[in-house]
Structure 1
Amino acid sequence: MSLDWVLTPARVSGAAALLAAYAALCLRTGWMARQRRLAFTHDSEELAGHVQGPPVLVVFASQTGQAEGLARAAARMLGGSGFRVTLLPVDRLDGAVLRSHPHSLWMLSTTGEGDAPDHALHFVQKLLAGAQDLSGHRCQVLALGDREYRQFCSFGIQVHEWLLAQGAEGDLICVDNMERAALQAWQGRVNELRQAWLGQDAEALPAQDEWLLPPASEPFILKRRTLLNPGSQGGPLYLLEWEPVSGRLPAWQSGDLASLAVPADPDRPRDYSIASIVEDGSLQMLVRLSLRDDGIPGLASGWLCEGMAVGDSLALAIRQHSSFRLGENRERPLILIGNGSGLAGLLGHLKARVRAGRGDQWLVFGERNSRHDAFCGEQLAQWLREGWLQRLDQAWSRDGDGARYVQDVLLQQQDQLKAWVQRGAAIYVCGSQQGMGQGVDRALRLVLGDTGVQALVHEGRYRRDVY
């Protein structure tokens, strides 16, 4: 079903009013942030100013950056209120740091069927498996998850139960797909704790949503929409190219996400991997038109692929995705693995590497049919010819008599895989969790062993953006 948008004076005025209100809110938040002047160190990100209040530990475990964003917002709010805030990813937490803080806030995502985020492996194996004396410690746990999975918020629940078993006291709030009401309930609870911790002389609280806003967004114009797989057995996949109304692209790094909300579902932003770098002159993403069981297009993909007209505008925000950025892997060889629309996140890294003059990358990409589903095939072939791709392996699951998937390539090329890893390569996986993501993880463990894969995770050399 196609969604038709008719531009009327009422809609124009309503959109203008909404943008004006949001701009005012962003300006006020920016002013407040400037007043608070937070300064963090690199390792523990401990608040340097406003040290009159008690120490508070803010911990996050994030797969796609949502929990990290919430943690940073909470740290800024508490720091501006006078707390001494230490902000840490869960993999950098140890027992001594935890015991030295009387209060803690935890923002914890669950990925897949009840798994902890990849970077939390060290915490799970070391800290969570042991005992700590947390008598008198006060904690507040925010668990992020998706009720479509049976193990809803299970990692956050597990950590909360562990904290209570160590003698800590505190509450747990579970959030389904960043549901606004649950986030507001959590904000209210944190504000209550803040006032209790600071006492009756606590300064006036900020309005409930002013310290936990989504990333600053701005209107972008859809300049071009290109169908990449005409005749495919799979759903149509489009390349969308956006340009900001202001004419000036915001800054982002390869691996980051673009966040947007469509008119039919304004309270639920969706994140899309950015397939371009700033030097391309546009923000690009790959979107597949998804259909529900009744054949009706999904709200977001239906709007982006069919309902929205080229030339229309939509508010987009850049969301940092630190766990999928190149980071310390910038100087390493890269093995890039993905399928379907997951090519977007890998393209961003490839473009960034080409621009940096590096060609030591190996792309393993899978789709259905080589005739219809060779997305960006000419670009990839050119990079291969020119040496910007050292290897390109494509797996087609509907070509010929036998299905071939990306995990099959890894098993068939296991000697090459081992050699690349021994050279120090980092592995980035982007695409579907079911099937591809799980199959790739199994293949890596068969070739490298569980210990080898765990070492890559601990070193930050195995990174995934799977959904």
Structure 2
Amino acid sequence: MELNVTNSPFNEAQSEQLNQVFSKLTKEQKIWLSGYLTASVNTQQASNQTDLPISTVNTNVPSPKTRAITILFGSETGNAQGLAETLENKLKEHHFEVNLSSMEDFKTKDLKKVEDLFIITATHGEGEPPDNAITFHEFIHSRKAPKLNDLRYSVLALGDESYEYFCQTGRDFDKKLEELGAKKLHPRVDCDLDFDEPAEKWMEDIINELAEETGQKQEEYDAVNTEKTSATQKYSRTNPYEAEVLENINLSGRGSNKEVRHIELSLEGFTESFEPGDCIGIFPKNDPEIVEKLINILVWDPEEEIVINDNQDKLKLKDALENHFEITKLTKSILTKAAEIFNNGVLSEKVKKERWIYGYVEGRDFIDLINDFPPEDLEPGALYKILRKLPAREYSIASSYEATPDEVHLTIGAVRYNANERDRKGVCSVQFAERIEPGDTVPIYLKKNPNFKFPKSDETPVIMIGPGTGVAPFRAYVQDKEELGINNKAWLFFGEQYFTTDFLYQTEWQSWLKDGVLNKLSLAFSRESDEKVYVQHRIEENSKEFYEWIEQGAAIYVCGDEKNMAKDVHQAILKVVQTEGHYNEEEAEAFLTQLKKEKRYQRDIY
């Protein structure tokens, strides 16, 4: 990583000089220099404290760790990779030797040589490993996996408690490594959507255990690291940026069955750039009507101050229910905790059956739980023991930084449906649809997505498949393409219900097609005829040309619904490869797996 004025406390001239020096240093020289600077800072601080004898100053630099550390990540949207990179940086600051790798890039034959292994992985779909963890997951569960009696390890698992197979991939790795003889350096930690604090605690615990073995002391690094953190502080999940809403426009035409909002947010003063494929996370608020209904059912005082977490932080009840707790979604954890606190015998019996739990939580919220299983003497202060923190919602960026650096655009479909005899609303999407206007502000953060990145080469054709709001990152890419003058071929597959009411960004696509920025546009409107037509049908109709693009080196991108669209599109692409490439199904799957490894088949599905 090169130093510059945005990621370091140095000015442009200093950054340039330091980069020139660093580029010529060996690994050993960099380690020595790091230790020298640490000692120098400590000595200078001590010399300024005239009441302390110089003999109390410790200028010794810890020697490098002898055991080699390997960090492997399995990441779908970038969270696991980001945490893995954070752990790598923390370990290197403590002078440990670290090898960081995605699971797909790690050579499995080297596993026997690893001494300390830290795995950070998400879980995809119904308990499946992320795409870039599949090969390693299969290897470690195969007969080829070696005995690992000399290996120490720990696993950080990311997931979503609302899914049945919560953190399953992390649990798989943890169980299998133990079966292969490896020893746990630290117990596995399973993280829900709000993963920042438990992940940070896991890292601290690991580093403390390693440092204790080598006689290192955490306080030797605190002053240096505190200075560095303050110098490079930026907006994040834990320090969100308040973005002003510039525009909030309904893209759907009159008579549409849907409501899709085009949102423009100001980034004035944000300072960080983004790329097509990246996301914006938004911290939403619960609907005040739902909050009021819940308070009335329980006959509580909305102004009462309650504890909201283990740190004993407090908020007024109404504020806590609007801004802190998730109340519109149930999970297995919520039901089991409620069974312990509600003192409702029926619920206590029901939660003993796991199958019942996953049937019940579907399409129900906390109000349903209260109505169906009335609690006995439930106090507002017990809520934090039952409910999880309201998680951020992440949306693909729909604009190019090159085109509009001081603002970011999002494409948000309002979620409304009826389930279990009650109308339901998406927390964040309907907040934008019904309660947010230009001039309001929303807390946001930028999330990089290293697994959904577009080429900036004239030689790489791009095939984009994005029905509905899945078209958002492709609007960002084509804007980028136009601004940067990238002359590669681009083909968009877009689908929705009706041409006249649901063709999102219609005039822009048609203009780009006319100007040659977009070379081909294939549309599928499912309600225009008796026979429903979707994007996967358009892929099969264009089978020959689709495969020709692949042979020319095209990269394929898919964005949108995971449950149906992504699976159907994958099958359509598989069929194209089989038909045009004359492969059997197994060979075609291997072909697509190779495309994934080459970053020529990337998906952002949700």
Which residue of 2 is the match for residue 255 of structure 1? 277
Aligned to 2:595: 456
User: Which deviates more from structure 2 when the two are superposed, residues 261-270 or residues 409-418?
Assistant: 261-270
**Among candidates 380, 399, 402, match of residue 276 of structure 1:** 399
CA contact (8 A) 1:122 1:458 kept: no
Question: 406, 411, 434: which is aligned to 2:535?
Answer: 406
Counterpart Cα distance in 1 of 2:591 and 2:28: 33
Q: 2:533 & 2:255 partners in 1: Cα distance?
A: 17
Q: What letter is aligned with 2:400? A: I
CA distance in 1, matches of 2:199, 2:525: 42
Match of 2:266 among 243, 257, 269: 243
Task: Give the deviation of 1:48 after TM superposition.
Answer: 5.6
Please identify the structure whose Cα radius of gyration is greater.
2
Q: Normalized against structure 2, the TM-score is what?
A: 0.65
Of the candidates 411, 414, 432, which is equivalent to residue 286 of structure 1? 411
In the TM superposition, what are the counterparts of 1:28-427 in structure 2 within 5 Å?
A: 49=31, 52-54=64-66, 55-126=68-139, 129=142, 130-170=144-184, 171-179=187-195, 182-183=198-199, 186-187=202-203, 189-199=205-215, 201-203=217-219, 214=237, 217-231=240-254, 233-246=256-269, 250-263=272-285, 264-265=322-323, 268-281=391-404, 282-291=407-416, 293=419, 294-327=422-455, 331-355=459-483, 356-427=485-556
Assess, with a 3 A threshold, how the Cα gap between structure 1 residues 348 and 404 changes in structure 2: closer, same or farther: same
Report the Cα distance in structure 2 between the residues aligned to 1:453 and 1:329, rounded to whole angstroms: 22
Question: 1:128-164: per-residue Cα shift (whole Å, max 9, x none)?
Answer: 5321232131111111122333332222222222322
Distance 1:71 1:113, change over 3 A: same
Distance 1:290 1:257, change over 3 A: same
Deviates more, 1:54-63 or 1:353-362: 353-362
Partners of 2:398 and 2:474 within 8 A in 1: yes
AA matched with 1:104: L
Q: Does the CA-based 8 Å contact 1:61-1:90 persist in structure 2?
A: yes
Question: Structure 2: 5+ residue runs without aligned partners?
Answer: 1-6, 10-17, 35-62, 286-321, 325-388, 578-587
Deviation at 1:125, TM superposition (A): 4.7
TM-superposed CA distance for 1:401, in Å, is 0.6
C-alpha displacement of 1:350 = 1.7
Q: Give the letter aligned to residue 129 of structure 2.
A: A
* Distance in structure 2 (CA, Å) of the matches to 1:117 and 1:421: 23
Q: How many aligned positions are there?
A: 431
SS at match of 1:401: coil
Q: In 1, distance between residues paired with 2:117 and 2:482?
A: 43
Q: How much does 1:216 deviate?
A: 5.9
Structure 1 residue identity aligned to 2:162:
E
1:434 corresponds in structure 2 to 563
Q: Residue type matched to 1:284 in 2? A: H
Name the CA distance, whole Å, in 1 between partners of 2:432 and 2:28.
41
Contact 1:259 1:318 in 2 (8 A): yes
User: Is the 2:403–2:480 Cα contact (8 Å) retained in structure 1?
Assistant: no
Counterparts of 2:557 and 2:29 in 1: how far apart (Å)? Answer: 32
Q: Do the aligned partners of residues 224 and 340 (structure 1) sit closer, same or farther apart at CA in structure 2, a change above 3 Å counting?
A: same
- Give the Å deviation of 1:438: 1.0
CA distance in 1, matches of 2:29, 2:169: 27
3-state DSSP class of the match of 1:280?
coil
Inter-partner Cα distance in structure 2 for 1:323 and 1:48: 30
Compare the two structures and name the one with the higher strand fraction.
1
Tell me the equivalent position of 2:41. Answer: none
Query: Are the equivalent residues in 1 in contact too, given 2:156–2:202 (CA < 8 A)?
Result: yes
C-alpha displacement of 1:305: 2.7
Structure 1 stretch displaced more, 105-114 or 193-202: 193-202
- Structure 1 Cα separation of the partners of residues 125 and 28 of structure 2: 31
How far does residue 64 in structure 1 lie from its aligned partner after superposition? 0.5
Q: 1:424 to 1:163 in 2, by over 3 A?
A: same
Q: Deviations over 1:148-181 (max 9, x none)?
A: 3333222222222232232212232222223456
Decide whether the 8 Å contact of 1:254 with 1:348 is kept in 2. Answer: yes
Q: Equivalents in 2 of 1:340, 1:47: separation in Å?
A: 53
For 2:119 and 2:132, the matched residues in 1 are separated by 15
Task: State the 1:416 CA deviation.
Answer: 1.4
* Deviation (angstroms), 1:410: 1.2
What is the CA–CA distance in structure 1 between the aligned matches of 2:162 and 2:257, rounded to whole Å?
23
1:418 Cα deviation after fit: 1.1
Instruction: Verify the 8 A CA contact 2:127 2:169 in the aligned structure 1.
Output: yes
SS at 2:82 equivalent: helix
Q: Does the Cα contact within 8 Å between 1:46 and 1:85 map onto a contact in 2?
A: no
CA deviations over 1:201-249 (Å, ceiling 9, x no partner): 4546869x98997376433211001100133544311010011243x65
Cα shift at 1:306:
2.3
CA contact (8 A) 1:57 1:98 kept: no
